[in-house]
């Protein structure tokens, strides 16, 4: 084997080792994300966990998650790796052309060099100050429609996103969409249960009010309630009837 062939073999093996290490890193990150988002049904915790995990995995300048309101009129920043305190901030999507394209097309938008891309010329100064190299907007889709996007920015002196990295991020976006859908269903179920409980309370209150009015009318007419036997009424209800009768008597005397 010549020196050139040996060198090529070494480089090939090094590339393979690097790819395997990258794959291992991706698998570990997916497992951690699944563990984190699988333990909660609150959408704010889900998106923040995903932003934090992606930011730490790639050492990003920025990792933000945006969700579009129904109808696509407004877009909200709901999670941020660099500032976890941001949870529900309405953004001007015109300031993020890559985000707008991802939401409109439902396809991943990858900008290899933020310093030369013409669509980013208005923000070129700010991006250069933060030494941003690549920008990636990955749609979060559900049933064929983009409901949000994950926005990733790498540093100029850091590693670029590979095809495997982009594929991994798409997997994470799909997991995020499913987790958000489950959280939405859970919140709807909780809301329905709350509405059902409120409805049952209203029915009980109305039944008690009708019984109260029936007894009050029967007492004022000096006639028993139909089907009621002596000693059958509730002492508390009878006390309320007595109070009501007293109030009515006082109002009649004052007129």
89, containing H or E segment: strand 89-91
Residues 80-129 pLDDT 10s = 998 888 888 899 888 899 999 999 999 999 998 998 999 888 888 888 88
- The answer to whether residue 5 is domain-embedded is no
d(CA 162, CA 174): 19
In contact, 147 and 180? CB cutoff 8 Å: yes
What's the domain range around 80? 13-190
Does residue 135 sit in the same domain as residue 250? Answer: no
Q: What is the pLDDT of residues 125-142, one digit of tens each?
A: 888 888 899 999 999 998
In this structure, what token pair is assigned to residue 135?
């920008």
Classify residue 4: in a domain, yes or no.
no
Q: Do 80 and 51 meet the contact criterion of CB atoms below 8 Å apart?
A: yes
**Global pTM exceeds 0.95:** no
- Last residue within a domain, chosen from 150, 169, 190: 190
Task: Please answer whether residues 149 and 103 qualify as being in contact, where contact means their C-beta atoms are separated by less than 8 angstroms.
Answer: yes
Closest of 131, 159, 164 to residue 29, by C-alpha: 164
Whether residues 212 and 175 fall in one domain = no
User: What would the pLDDT profile of 206-247 be if each residue is shown by its tens digit?
Assistant: 666 556 556 655 655 554 544 444 445 566 556 665 666 665
Burial 208-234 (b: 16+ CB within 10 A, else e): eeeeeeebbebbeeeeeeeeeeeeebe
**Tokens coding 34:** 């699944």
What is the domain count for the chain?
2
CB 82 within 8 A of CB 76: no
């Amino acid at each position: 084997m010549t020196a050139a062939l040996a060198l090529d073999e070494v480089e090939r093996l090094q590339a393979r080792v690097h790819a395997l290490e990258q794959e291992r890193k991706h698998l570990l990150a997916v497992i951690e994300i699944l563990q984190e988002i699988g333990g909660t049904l609150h959408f704010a915790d889900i998106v923040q966990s995903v932003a934090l995990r992606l930011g730490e995995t790639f050492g990003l300048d920025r990792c933000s998650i945006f969700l579009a309101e129904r109808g696509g009129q407004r877009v909200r920043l709901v999670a941020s790796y660099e500032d976890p305190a941001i949870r529900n901030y309405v953004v001007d999507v015109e300031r993020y052309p890559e985000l707008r394209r991802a939401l409109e097309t439902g396809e991943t938008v990858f900008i290899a060099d933020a310093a030369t891309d013409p669509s980013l010329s208005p923000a070129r100064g700010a991006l250069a100050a933060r030494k941003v190299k690549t920008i990636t907007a990955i749609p979060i889709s559900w049933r064929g429609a983009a409901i949000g996007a994950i926005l990733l920015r790498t540093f100029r002196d850091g590693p670029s996103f590979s095809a495997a990295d982009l594929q991994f991020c798409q997997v994470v976006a799909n997991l995020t969409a499913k987790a958000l859908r489950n959280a939405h269903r859970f919140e709807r179920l909780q809301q329905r249960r709350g509405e059902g409980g409120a409805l049952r309370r209203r029915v009980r209150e109305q039944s008690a009010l009708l019984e109260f009015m029936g007894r009050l009318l029967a007492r004022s007419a000096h006639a028993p309630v139909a089907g009621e036997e002596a000693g059958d009424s509730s002492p508390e209800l009878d006390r309320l009837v007595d109070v009501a009768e007293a109030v009515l008597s006082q109002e009649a005397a004052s007129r």
